[in-house]
Amino acid sequence: MIQHILNYLGIGAAAASGAVLGVRKGFDLFGIAAMAVVTGVGGGVLRDVLLAIDPPQSLQRWQDITVCLAAAALATLFARTVIRLHQPVTMLDAVGMGFFATSGAALAVDHGASWFAAALLGMVSALAGTIIRDVVARDVPVVMGPDDMYAVPAMLGSVIYVVIDYYGPQWVGVAVGSLVATLLRLAAITFHWRLPTGPRELIMRAHPPHPGP
Amino acid sequence: MIQHILNYLGIGAAAASGAVLGVRKGFDLFGIAAMAVVTGVGGGVLRDVLLAIDPPQSLQRWQDITVCLAAAALATLFARTVIRLHQPVTMLDAVGMGFFATSGAALAVDHGASWFAAALLGMVSALAGTIIRDVVARDVPVVMGPDDMYAVPAMLGSVIYVVIDYYGPQWVGVAVGSLVATLLRLAAITFHWRLPTGPRELIMRAHPPHPGP
Amino acid sequence: MIQHILNYLGIGAAAASGAVLGVRKGFDLFGIAAMAVVTGVGGGVLRDVLLAIDPPQSLQRWQDITVCLAAAALATLFARTVIRLHQPVTMLDAVGMGFFATSGAALAVDHGASWFAAALLGMVSALAGTIIRDVVARDVPVVMGPDDMYAVPAMLGSVIYVVIDYYGPQWVGVAVGSLVATLLRLAAITFHWRLPTGPRELIMRAHPPHPGP
């Protein structure tokens, strides 16, 4: 029961972020809905493709995509509010991210993935949706940095899951891994914890400053 | 017989649009051919991956990609003409789009997809090629809007297919769904039917106007 | 034995190019590592997905991704040196590209692909990693041209492999195909062999020159 709530909550928060980006990019209603769907279920679909779960669960059942479409409708109707309420949406997204990182790893273990692959596929479940969202909208993927940490909490969550699953029951791994990932993400947002970049002077400027008249 | 003609016609029209975009982007002959191939068969390949048809039909057989390469050769040699004859190419593309939306859904049903997944996979077959084309060429995907409707006809076609297949023979669903999708797309081009965007004042400008000296 | 060395060498060189691009784009350490991983193993993972090898080998085993992470660490620590030593990195990459083009085709044949699909999947193995790298970093894919030939050597290598495999032993095809692909790529770098583009006056300028004050 609780895992269904976490699943729909995570999908809905991710879908809302996709829909808002679609609004910001000037997409039409189909484009906004499509952004919500690829962001909400993209990570899970890619995970299922890599695990040969065909057709992927999120496509085969109607519930996940319906949640995406509902989130898209709300995020479009109340776009101003959703943008202003950035913080609660980010917090819901952190909860969903933590849950996807561990539940994705658990599903991978159940489908014959190695421990190594399970940790990776947990990260894929948590991160791929937002990467696809940004690539389709022609933005640089935000999880690539140098913003507040997003990928490191997901990685930690799915590694913790794998370690606990090796020694004990699966649900403990999901619970502890999700909790740690979500709390670390919330701390990263609150305190602006960031990973360093490479040597700063090697960074190319995308848009060189206009030299002026 | 007729479904083979529609299939090659649709692949060829999509491939020509990919090749022309490659020409416009300054790609070399390989890049132009590659754009034609990913646009022409990308939707079908993604559908086959999601249905676990491995290797995907369009890669396993030589015909589809040969059609893409022929379309690329013609579109490159007569690029000026193809750009000027934009309208007939768009009309052929509308026929192909309608056929892919329904034939993709039919293939999905045959491979164990739910009705819901079949309607989605019909849309994927019809739309994913052009989305991949635009992402690789670093354009915002045109099907995301706010241009003349493209995705809505595809969605309607694949939903109509699924509804008819539920009650009657498959070929009626393909025929009626394709026809409705193609006619709606042609009407959308002719009358510039568009879906609304989200709130206009929230749209970010990609390239802020230069303030001037 | 030698194929393991070629495999890791190719993955490492590709991963280093991904990591350097991540550094240049200002990604954080996770983003740099992620770029190394998608560039190093992206082609192989896509090939495995198209062949229904699930989970893909590079995810299931820890070795390939560990090589990517080691290459990312070295390329980040010594980024200046790696950029200056552009030429040796490009040469190692040419060796890896040739090997992937033929070993990818061989794996495809072993998994039931047609000769046509095997040649295609060899190209996918050799090229898809760099295409994914550039798309995620929001660059136009370099293999699309109009730079020194990269894709044509890969295509030639995988076609040669397929032809030799049809008549003789697999390892001869891998050896000859890899050698020809690598040598042709090195010649293309040295002599700046390029494919022509489409009609030059049809090329759209991405960033129109500023008209000036």
Residues of chain B with pLDDT under 70: 206-213
pLDDT at C12: 94
Mutation site, A54, A63, A82, A139, interface B, largest B CB count within 10 A: A54
**Residue A129: CA atoms inside 13 Å, Cβ hemisphere, count?**
36
What is the C-alpha to C-alpha distance for residues A100 and A157, in angstroms, rounded to an integer? 9
pLDDT at A54: 84
Q: What number is the average pLDDT over the span A17-28?
A: 94
Name the CA radius of gyration of chain A, rounded: 18
- Judge whether B208 is closer than 8 Å to chain A, CB to CB: no
Between B61, B65, B79, which is nearest C198 by CB? B79
**Letter for the amino acid at C141?**
P
Query: Is A21 within the bounds of a domain?
Result: yes
Between A114, A138, A149, which is nearest C138 by CB? A138
Query: What is the distance in angstroms between the Cα of B59 and the nearest Cα belonging to chain A?
Result: 18
Contact B22, B35 (CB under 8 A): yes
Between C131, C155, C197, which is nearest B26 by CB? C197
Q: What number is the average pLDDT over the span A161-169?
A: 94
- Judge whether B196 is closer than 8 Å to chain C, CB to CB: no
pLDDT at B206: 61
**Letter for the amino acid at B171?**
W
DSSP 8-state assignment for residue A201: G
Contact A28, B196 (CB under 8 A): yes
Query: Is B89 within the bounds of a domain?
Result: yes
Query: Is A205 within the bounds of a domain?
Result: no
With CA atoms as reference, report the closest residue to B49 among C122, C45, C50, C58. Answer: C50
Q: What number is the average pLDDT over the span C209-213?
A: 45
Query: What is the distance in angstroms between the Cα of B81 and the nearest Cα belonging to chain A?
Result: 30
Which residues in C lie closer than 8 A to residue B56 (C-beta atoms)? Answer: 50
pLDDT band at A137 (very low <50, low <70, confident <90, very high): very high
**Which are the contacts of C111, defined by CB distance < 8 A and separation ≥ 6?**
C51, C52, C53
Which residues in B lie closer than 8 A to residue A35 (C-beta atoms)? Answer: 144
Would the CB atoms of A50 and C52 count as touching at under 8 Å? no
Structural domains of chain C, count: 1
Query: Is A86 within the bounds of a domain?
Result: yes
pLDDT at C206: 61
What is the C-alpha to C-alpha distance for residues B151 and C72, in angstroms, rounded to an integer? 40
Q: Which chain B residue lies closest to C203 (C-alpha atoms)?
A: B24
Residue A208 clears pLDDT 90, i.e. is over it: no
Query: Is C201 within the bounds of a domain?
Result: no
Query: Is A156 within the bounds of a domain?
Result: yes
Chains that touch A (3 or more CB pairs under 8 A): B, C
Between C22, C65, C136, which is nearest A135 by CB? C136
- Judge whether B29 is closer than 8 Å to chain C, CB to CB: yes
Contact A125, A100 (CB under 8 A): yes
Mutation site, A147, A193, A197, A201, interface C, largest C CB count within 10 A: A197
Which residues in C lie closer than 8 A to residue A199 (C-beta atoms)? Answer: 23, 79-80
Query: What is the distance in angstroms between the Cα of C175 and the nearest Cα belonging to chain A?
Result: 30
Between A113, A195, A204, which is nearest C28 by CB? A195
pLDDT at C213: 42
Q: What number is the average pLDDT over the span A68-75?
A: 96
Q: What number is the average pLDDT over the span C32-61?
A: 94
> What percent of chain B lies above the pLDDT cut of 90?
79
With CA atoms as reference, report the closest residue to B3 among B87, B113, B75, B106. Answer: B106
- Judge whether A34 is closer than 8 Å to chain B, CB to CB: yes
Counting one residue from B and one from C, how many pairs have CB atoms under 8 Å apart?
A: 110
- Judge whether B83 is closer than 8 Å to chain A, CB to CB: no
Q: Give tens-digit pLDDT for C150-166.
A: 999 999 999 999 999 99
With CA atoms as reference, report the closest residue to A189 among A97, A104, A54. Answer: A97
Q: How far is CA A197 from the centre of its chain?
A: 21
Between A117, A143, A145, which is nearest C59 by CB? A117
pLDDT at C54: 84
Query: Is B210 within the bounds of a domain?
Result: no
Mutation site, A29, A65, A111, interface B, largest B CB count within 10 A: A29
pLDDT at B59: 95
Contact B148, A146 (CB under 8 A): no
Would the CB atoms of B203 and A24 count as touching at under 8 Å? yes
Between B28, B45, B138, which is nearest C138 by CB? B138
Which residues in C lie closer than 8 A to residue A202 (C-beta atoms)? Answer: 23-24, 79-80, 83
Q: How far is CA C119 from the centre of its chain?
A: 15
Distances (CA, A) of C101 to B37, B116, C109, C162, C169: 18, 38, 13, 11, 17
Query: What is the distance in angstroms between the Cα of B200 and the nearest Cα belonging to chain C?
Result: 25
**Which are the contacts of A16, defined by CB distance < 8 A and separation ≥ 6?**
A36, A71, A72, A74, A75, A82, A89
Would the CB atoms of A34 and B151 count as touching at under 8 Å? yes
Which residues in B lie closer than 8 A to residue C135 (C-beta atoms)? Answer: 135-136, 138
Contact A154, A97 (CB under 8 A): yes
Q: Give tens-digit pLDDT for A97-108.
A: 999 999 999 999
The DSSP annotation for chain C comes to -HHHHHHHHHHHHHHHHHHHHHHHTT-BHHHHHHHHHHHHHHHHHHHHHHTT-SS-HHHHSSHHHHHHHHHHHHHHHTHHHHHHTHHHHHHHHHHHHHHHHHHHHHHHHHTT--HHHHHHHHHHHHHHHHHHHHHHTTPPPGGGTTSS-SHHHHHHHHHHHHHHHHHS-HHHHHHHHHHHHHHHHHHHHHHT----BS-GGGPPPSSPPP---
pLDDT at A209: 47
- Judge whether A54 is closer than 8 Å to chain B, CB to CB: yes
Query: Is C89 within the bounds of a domain?
Result: yes
Beta bridge partners of B197: A28
Average pLDDT of chain C? 92
pLDDT at A206: 61
- Judge whether C4 is closer than 8 Å to chain B, CB to CB: no
ipTM, two decimals, is: 0.91
Q: Give tens-digit pLDDT for C175-204.
A: 999 999 999 999 999 999 999 998 888 898
Here the tokens at position B158 are 């694949």
Between C45, C54, C80, which is nearest A202 by CB? C80
- Judge whether C44 is closer than 8 Å to chain A, CB to CB: no
Distances (CA, A) of B210 to A138, B213, C17, C207, C212: 21, 9, 35, 13, 11
Distances (CA, A) of C34 to A24, A39, C29, C148: 27, 19, 8, 26
Q: In this structure, is the dihedral angle defined by the CA atoms of residues C13, C14, C19 and C24, taken in order, positive or negative?
A: positive
Which domain does A34 fall in, by range? 2-196
- Judge whether C66 is closer than 8 Å to chain B, CB to CB: no
Residue C209 clears pLDDT 60, i.e. is over it: no
Q: Give tens-digit pLDDT for C50-86.
A: 999 989 999 999 999 999 999 999 999 999 998 888 8
What is the C-alpha to C-alpha distance for residues B79 and B81, in angstroms, rounded to an integer? 5
Q: Which chain C residue lies closest to A210 (C-alpha atoms)?
A: C210
CA angle B14, B184, B127 (to 5 degrees): 35
